[in-house]
Chains A and B, each alone.
Chain A
Amino acid sequence: MKILAFYLKTILLALPFALVIAFYVWVDPFMVIRNYNDYDSPIVMQSEGTVGWKKYKMFRHIRHYDSFIMGSSCTKAFNTADWLQYINGSPFRFFGNAEGLADMCLKLEALDRQPGQKIRNLLIVGEVDFLSRGLPQKGATYSVPPEVSGQSWIAYQTTHLQAFFALKFLKKYLRYRFTHRYTDDMNGVINNHGRMRTRFTNDAIPYAEPLIHKQGERFWQTPEWLSARAENYVFTEQKPVIFHAQLACLLRIKRICDKHHTNLKIAIGPAYKTGAVNHTDIELLKKIFGQYNVVDYSDRAHIAFTDYHYFSDPAHYRNSVGRLILHDLYRAHI
């Protein structure tokens, strides 16, 4: 009888946790438990790494992707339709939240492992933070499926489960779920934009552009923008960020690109008052990938790009900048 009491008490202890896990599985807020037909209009802001991989797997057999734009959310300035003017191929914007070198490496290696996958064109959009991340990032925001990361399924799922039960997430999620009303404090947790990306190429839907056209100069006069613009800024270079771990990632990227004879371009994007990438890092990139395949748009020569009109928010430059960069990057080869 003692053993039955023990089993009963153990079940009683586990029951609340089993119930909350059941609730989580039922709602699947991060869309990582079941497969979906549409990942582009989520309730909750997703890990772009996960979404990108799922969409790639879902459509690769009909779209035969062979050209990829990789990097952080700054890739949203680059439209695959614009890119197609300079390359031949089937493009896909394959980015991740605050993607770093190591995160990108994992993804590229996973791509390389896919049967029959070609990588004809690769456009890497980087900045200082991107280059400095020599180890894969942890957490639900940066997660990629186990097929990419090599971690176990259980580790992948518990990462999301715990992110769900983080109080600052759960409070906002439950409030939105029961009231269906978006409030400003839900920014970054709940998707307030509706459709976020295009279905097949994963291009960003540029929400800010219509607003900029409508508001004109007033767009850059919000308190956030006024505070950012008020900062005094003298052109500076950041410290070097490429050391052993980062170099190892770069060489892994180089190996895969060589294997696929990839047409690789690296664009270091303009930075709004955060300083340019160190010139020694740029020289190293050029040494590895070729003089004409790496262009630094954060350097002094491109200081015109630091005009705030080129930015939709202080961390992201606009499509028009993306188009200019594409034209400049590929002009020698047209």
Chain B
Amino acid sequence: MEFVSLPFAAGLVVVFVLYYLFPNRRWQRALLLMASAAFIGYNSLVHLAFAVGITLFSFYAGRLLARKINRRSAPFILWGSIALLIAVWIAARYAVGVFPLGISFYTFQALAYLIEIYWEEEPENSLPDFALYMLLFMKFLSGPIERADQLLPQIKKARMFNYEQTVRGLMTLAGGAFMKLMIADRIAPSLDGVFVDVHNATSMQLLQVTMLYPIQLYADFAGYTLMAIGIGQMFGFRLSPNFNRPFTSQSTTELWRRWHMSLSFWVRDYVFTPLSASLRQHGVWGIRLSLLVTFIVIGVWHGAGIAFAAYGLFQGLLVVFEQATARQHEWFQKKAPKIYAPLMTIRTYVLFALSLLFFRLENTREVFYVYSHLFDGFTTGIKELKLGLTDFYWIVFGIAVVLMFAAEWAESQHSLIDRLRRANPLVRWAAYFVFATILFAFGAFGVENFIYTQF
């Protein structure tokens, strides 16, 4: 089931009303578990079976690990469990032919949970609480990848209706819907039309879609995350943020601290840190090797094949290069502080856009075809650059993108929701109606899947 669908909207309303009808912990937990099971099993019971299987395995493996923590068998239990979880993930992803939705996200949650127990965190004793931590519907499909110590304590509390928090949740949900419907889904068919057949596209079209794709991906994924966070708030949960204005980054290193943060922090904590610690005797080269491996892990997390590994390697090489040239960057920044920031921001965006071609095309040969034809010539007519989108919708798309970045900038200065909540009721209600009307009239309904639900 997708967020932007009638069954989900109807289900959400029903679950919300029932949730606050009896605000006690057991009822709320049971309801959320049932809602999550319905959400996951709606498309296929196989998906639900996989998720429940991984949940049960992780719960009991965690308890076993905790019991044996100071014994010799502990590493074997940990590594055996990790191997099994990864084997199931790989098998489900590439061998079985049924790809259970959300498996990459909940498998990483399970891995983090087991590693934390090995690092002497307490295991969870309540199976229903743990199941909710793993399966909570609003973050099930595409994260954020939550840590047990963040989410489990929230699950253990009963939640009373909080008007302010619910309204904020609704506003956040609406913000996510704006990004998804006005930007990502509006431009998606046009970009897909070129990516599906890059050999048929002109050089300008290739350049155009390469540079627009990060915006589509960001609006899609960050839009999804905002919707998940908003729904979480409505039910009294605080989910982790996944994005922090990534396109303001002045380096690829910074970009990965702002882009898909729950994944990049996960690999930092559970791949990079242990790996670089074990390679510390090799000095700077040990760190560089750890960085490359970490980014390749990020790449292959998205999919099998050379293209995804190349996507990760591309990022890794950039980060290693930035680390190796840190002094030169400092010098440049001191010498030309005014142009450094915009230049580096543009450079970071362009390199990210180029690397995303591996991610989008999933075929290295096609990627190199695009690279070699990006600057063939600039004699394309305006009609070809419209990519099948009418002038009107290009204007709508352009305004929406500007609004998105402007809102993000404003949000970084002071909370927009706070300002709106403090505004005169007439202004506030007018803003609500205008926003809803814009979404209603110009949103691209119909593209019901999110890009990251395939991972």
Q: Does A165 interact with chain B (Cβ within 8 Å)?
A: yes
CA distance A89 to B344 in the complex (A): 68
CA distance A312 to B6 in the complex (A): 45
With A5-B163, A16-B433, A165-B441 known to touch, is A135 a contact of B196 (CB < 8 Å)?
yes
- List A110-155 residues whose CB lies under 8 Å from chain B: 134-135, 137-138, 151-152, 154-155
Residue of B nearest to A154 (CB): B6
CA distance A159 to B5 in the complex (A): 14
A6 touches B166 (CB 8 A): yes
With A13-B436, A17-B436 known to touch, is A244 a contact of B161 (CB < 8 Å)?
no
B200 touches A244 (CB 8 A): yes
With A6-B166, A152-B5, A243-B199 known to touch, is A135 a contact of B189 (CB < 8 Å)?
yes
Residue of B nearest to A134 (CB): B197
A152 touches B440 (CB 8 A): no
Q: Does B94 interact with chain A (Cβ within 8 Å)?
A: no
- List B150-190 residues whose CB lies under 8 Å from chain A: 161, 163, 166-167, 170, 189
Best-buried of B161, B196, B433, B440 by chain A (most CB within 10 Å): B440
Residue of B nearest to A10 (CB): B170
CA distance A244 to B446 in the complex (A): 25
Inter-chain contacts of A156 with B (CB < 8 A): 446
B446 touches A155 (CB 8 A): yes
A2 touches B445 (CB 8 A): no
Q: Does B254 interact with chain A (Cβ within 8 Å)?
A: no
Residue of B nearest to A240 (CB): B200
A162 touches B200 (CB 8 A): no
With A243-B199, A244-B197, A244-B200 known to touch, is A158 a contact of B163 (CB < 8 Å)?
no
Q: Does A245 interact with chain B (Cβ within 8 Å)?
A: yes
Inter-chain contacts of A162 with B (CB < 8 A): 440-443, 445
* Interface SS of A by simple majority: helix
B188 to chain A, nearest CB (A): 10
How many chain B residues sit at the interface, stated as a range, is: 20 to 34
Q: Does A3 interact with chain B (Cβ within 8 Å)?
A: yes
B173 to chain A, nearest CB (A): 12
B440 touches A165 (CB 8 A): yes
- List B1-38 residues whose CB lies under 8 Å from chain A: 5-6, 20
Q: Does B75 interact with chain A (Cβ within 8 Å)?
A: no
B161 touches A2 (CB 8 A): yes
A147 to chain B, nearest CB (A): 16
A3 touches B441 (CB 8 A): no
Q: Does B432 interact with chain A (Cβ within 8 Å)?
A: yes
Residue of B nearest to A241 (CB): B200
Residue of B nearest to A138 (CB): B189
Residue of A nearest to B20 (CB): A3
B210-253 CB mask vs A (1 if < 8 Å, else 0) is 00000000000000000000000000000000000000000000
A97 to chain B, nearest CB (A): 15
- List A241-273 residues whose CB lies under 8 Å from chain B: 243-246
B163 touches A2 (CB 8 A): yes
Residue of A nearest to B447 (CB): A155
Inter-chain contacts of A17 with B (CB < 8 A): 436, 440
B366 to chain A, nearest CB (A): 11
A310 to chain B, nearest CB (A): 27
Inter-chain contacts of A2 with B (CB < 8 A): 161, 163
CA distance A221 to B166 in the complex (A): 66
B120-140 CB mask vs A (1 if < 8 Å, else 0) is 000000000000000000000
A135 touches B193 (CB 8 A): yes
CA distance A5 to B441 in the complex (A): 27
CA distance A134 to B388 in the complex (A): 12
CA distance A134 to B170 in the complex (A): 40
Q: Does B411 interact with chain A (Cβ within 8 Å)?
A: no
A306 to chain B, nearest CB (A): 23
A188-203 CB mask vs B (1 if < 8 Å, else 0) is 0000000000000000
B381 to chain A, nearest CB (A): 11
CA distance A5 to B448 in the complex (A): 32
CA distance A137 to B192 in the complex (A): 12
Residue of B nearest to A153 (CB): B6
Q: Which residue in A6, A152, A244 is a CB contact (below 8 Å) of B167?
A: A6
Inter-chain contacts of B167 with A (CB < 8 A): 6
Residue of B nearest to A135 (CB): B193
Inter-chain contacts of B193 with A (CB < 8 A): 134-135
- List B86-101 residues whose CB lies under 8 Å from chain A: none
Residue of A nearest to B445 (CB): A158
B236 to chain A, nearest CB (A): 13
CA distance A162 to B443 in the complex (A): 9
CA distance A260 to B72 in the complex (A): 69
CA distance A236 to B441 in the complex (A): 42
Q: Which residue in A135, A155, A159, A245 is a CB contact (below 8 Å) of B448?
A: A155
Best-buried of B442, B443, B445 by chain A (most CB within 10 Å): B445
Inter-chain contacts of A165 with B (CB < 8 A): 440-441
CA distance A77 to B334 in the complex (A): 72
B320 to chain A, nearest CB (A): 36
CA distance A6 to B170 in the complex (A): 11
Inter-chain contacts of B432 with A (CB < 8 A): 13
CA distance A236 to B440 in the complex (A): 45
With A13-B432, A154-B5, A154-B6 known to touch, is A243 a contact of B445 (CB < 8 Å)?
no
Inter-chain contacts of B436 with A (CB < 8 A): 13, 17
Inter-chain contacts of A246 with B (CB < 8 A): 200
Best-buried of B5, B189, B446 by chain A (most CB within 10 Å): B446
B407 to chain A, nearest CB (A): 20
| Residues in A lying within 8 Å of B, measured CB to CB | 2-3, 5-6, 10, 13, 16-17, 134-135, 137-138, 151-152, 154-156, 158-159, 162, 165-166, 243-246
Shortest 8 CB-CB contacts between residues of A and residues of B: A155-B446, A243-B200, A158-B445, A244-B197, A2-B163, A245-B197, A154-B6, A3-B161
A-B contacts, 28 listed (Cβ < 8 Å): A2-B161, A2-B163, A6-B161, A6-B167, A13-B429, A13-B432, A13-B436, A17-B440, A134-B193, A134-B197, A135-B192, A135-B193, A135-B196, A138-B189, A138-B446, A152-B446, A154-B5, A154-B446, A155-B445, A156-B446, A158-B445, A162-B441, A162-B442, A162-B443, A165-B440, A166-B441, A244-B196, A245-B197
| Further pairs besides A152-B5, A243-B197: 16, Cβ < 8 Å | A2-B163, A3-B20, A5-B163, A6-B167, A13-B433, A134-B193, A135-B192, A137-B388, A154-B446, A155-B447, A155-B448, A158-B446, A165-B440, A244-B197, A245-B196, A245-B200
